[in-house]
Every structure is written in structure tokens, then in C-alpha cells.
């Protein structure tokens, strides 16, 4: 029997197109369902009736968790789980959840005001990184090197219109590159190390940074196991910082892009996702 899967997202990107294109050969029927069209709340959830599972891939930092919660309440299998999506949507919540589970994360401070920001810089020192609690793809992540410019940088945060945009994390600048692990179920199916390119200091796959495939590393596997133990099995992009004392979990993306890591490693990620869906829905 062919499994019916809905990709719930605001748009169809490269990853979604690949899953839809490959689906017939992988034993799946995959449809795109616009996340603005579901109108969930009815216990029977007629807009998602007939689907064996939903892949939540909304780019929004609020829609994914809300939709996952209502879909699960209607008895539909959701990847990733509502609890996992809610944790990953918010960098602060994710850091707190992982740290409480013993998973190493970078030191950080929550800055909700200029007073918070100034104190965070005093405690953590310079250079430091200022990043929004809600956000991704390296956007609005700012490296603060100079104390004379720090307050001017914060002027831009204060001018943002909404409180959720003003909530930021301050953390030490750790330098070096980052590791992206594409996790399906519990398995690291592909891993690549990204380094900042040119004048851009951010090591992020979405920015087109240089990358190389990463061989199996027991330390990395242990960290990913800790993440999955806490969030549950699913499909994740786990981003790590490499430091002299070991790796730290920077972020976990619940709707990960994988074009960069797939092109670097040559791994057939749609097949890995299809196998996982067939295993959990059998």
C-alpha cells in the first residue's frame, strides 16, 4: 500500500520538490499542502483526512508548532512531533531543554533590554554574537567585536517593531566552522563541516559556505544521541560548533534544508526519509 504524506509548508523549496519528485519510486504519495489552508481545530480535521503522516516544514517560527499540536490531537502522525517543533522554533527554549538534559551548548545570556545586553557583554566579554531568539539561515546574527560599536548595534534591535523580534541571545564568539548533521530517526545520514567564506564570518550552509564531508565521529554521534533522546526521533538538522574542548550543540532545525549537505556528501536523503516513514507507519 502506498503511504500518503503531506508536506505542510508555506512554499515548495528544493527539498520539498525533491521529495515530491522521488516519492513514486520510493513507495510514497507526497503532496504539498499550504500551511495557510488547513483551518485546523475541528476534531475530525477534514483538511488532513486521508494522510498517513504530515511532514511539518513551515518556515514560520510559530505556524509549525501550532499545526503540529492540532494535527497530533486529531490522531495524525506528525514529523516532527509538536513538542520537538515547539522546542526547535525558539533558540532559548532549545538551549534550556538541551542543557537540562546534559547536552553541551554554548554559554549564553537572554537580552530583553539594553541593560540586559550591556550586562551580557560585561559577563561574556568581546567578541560576542548577538542573535534573535526566533530566526534562521544566519539572518540578523551579528558579531560584536568593538565595545564602541556595541550600543549602536543594539539601536537596531530597539527599533524592531515586535517584542518577539527584540528578544535576543548573546553568546561568546567561538570562531572556526560548524558541523551540520542531517538526522533521520536516530541516524546521522549525512554530516558536513562548513567554514565561513570570504568576508562573511558566519559558517552557515544557507550562505553558500565552503564545506567538506565529515567522517564518523563518536563524539558527534554521542551529542546527536543526546538531542534525539530529549526531542524524540525525527528529521533534524543538528548544528554543532567545534571548540578546542569539544563540540557544542548550537541549534537544531526541525525543518532542515539539506541541499548543501547532500551535495557535499552525495547521500540520497529522500530515500532515507522514505525508509524512516515506512518503518514508523508500518
Mean pLDDT score of the chain: 92
Separation between Cα atoms, residue 87 and residue 61, nearest integer Å: 11
Per residue in 99-123, pLDDT (tens digit) is 999 999 999 999 999 999 999 999 9
User: pLDDT tens digits, residue range 190-200?
Assistant: 999 987 655 56
Please tell me the least confidently modeled range out of 28-32, 172-176, 192-196. Answer: 192-196
pLDDT in tens, 42-89: 999 999 999 999 999 998 888 999 999 999 999 999 999 999 999 999
Domains of the chain: 3-88 (3.40.50.20), 109-172 (3.30.1490.20), 175-281 (3.30.470.20)
- Band (pLDDT 50/70/90 cuts) for residue 273 is very high
Give every CB contact of residue 80 below 8 A, 6+ residues apart in sequence: 56, 68, 88, 231, 232, 234, 235, 236, 254
pTM: 0.92
Amino acid at each position: 500500500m502506498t503511504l500518503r504524506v503531506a508536506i505542510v509548508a508555506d512554499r515548495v523549496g528544493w527539498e520539498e520538490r525533491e521529495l515530491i519528485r522521488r516519492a513514486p519510486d520510493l513507495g510514497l504519495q507526497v503532496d504539498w499542502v499550504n500551511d495557510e489552508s488547513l483551518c485546523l481545530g475541528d476534531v475530525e480535521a477534514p483538511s488532513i483526512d486521508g494522510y498517513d503522516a504530515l511532514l511539518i516544514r513551515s518556515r514560520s517560527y510559530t505556524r509549525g508548532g501550532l499545526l503540529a499540536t492540532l494535527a497530533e490531537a486529531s490522531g495524525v502522525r506528525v514529523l516532527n512531533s509538536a513538542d520537538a517543533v515547539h522546542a526547535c522554533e525558539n533558540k532559548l527554549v532549545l538551549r534550556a531543554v538541551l542543557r537540562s538534559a546534559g547536552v553541551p551548548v554554548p554559554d549564553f545570556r537572554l537580552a530583553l533590554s539594553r541593560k540586559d545586553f550591556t550586562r551580557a557583554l560585561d559577563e561574556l566579554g568581546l567578541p560576542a554574537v548577538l542573535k534573535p531568539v526566533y530566526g534562521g539561515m544566519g539572518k540578523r546574527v551579528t558579531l560584536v567585536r568593538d565595545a564602541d560599536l556595541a550600543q549602536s548595534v543594539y539601536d537596531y534591535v530597539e527599533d524592531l517593531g515586535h517584542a518577539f523580534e527584540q528578544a535576543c541571545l548573546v553568546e561568546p564568539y567561538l570562531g572556526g566552522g560548524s558541523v551540520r548533521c542531517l538526522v533521520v530517526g536516530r541516524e546521522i545520514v549525512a554530516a558536513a563541516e562548513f567554514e565561513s567564506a570570504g568576508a562573511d564570518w558566519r559558517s552557515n550552509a544557507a550562505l553558500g559556505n565552503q564545506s567538506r564531508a565529515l567522517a564518523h565521529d563518536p563524539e558527534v554521534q554521542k551529542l546527536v544521541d543526546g538531542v534525539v533522546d530529549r526531542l524524540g526521533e525525527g528529521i533534524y538538522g543538528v548544528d554543532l560548533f567545534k571548540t578546542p574542548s569539544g563540540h557544542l550543540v548550537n541549534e537544531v532545525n526541525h525543518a532542515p534544508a539539506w541541499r548543501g549537505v547532500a551535495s557535499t556528501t552525495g547521500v540520497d536523503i529522500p530515500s532515507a526519509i522514505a525508509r524512516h516513514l515506512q518503518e514508523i507507519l508500518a
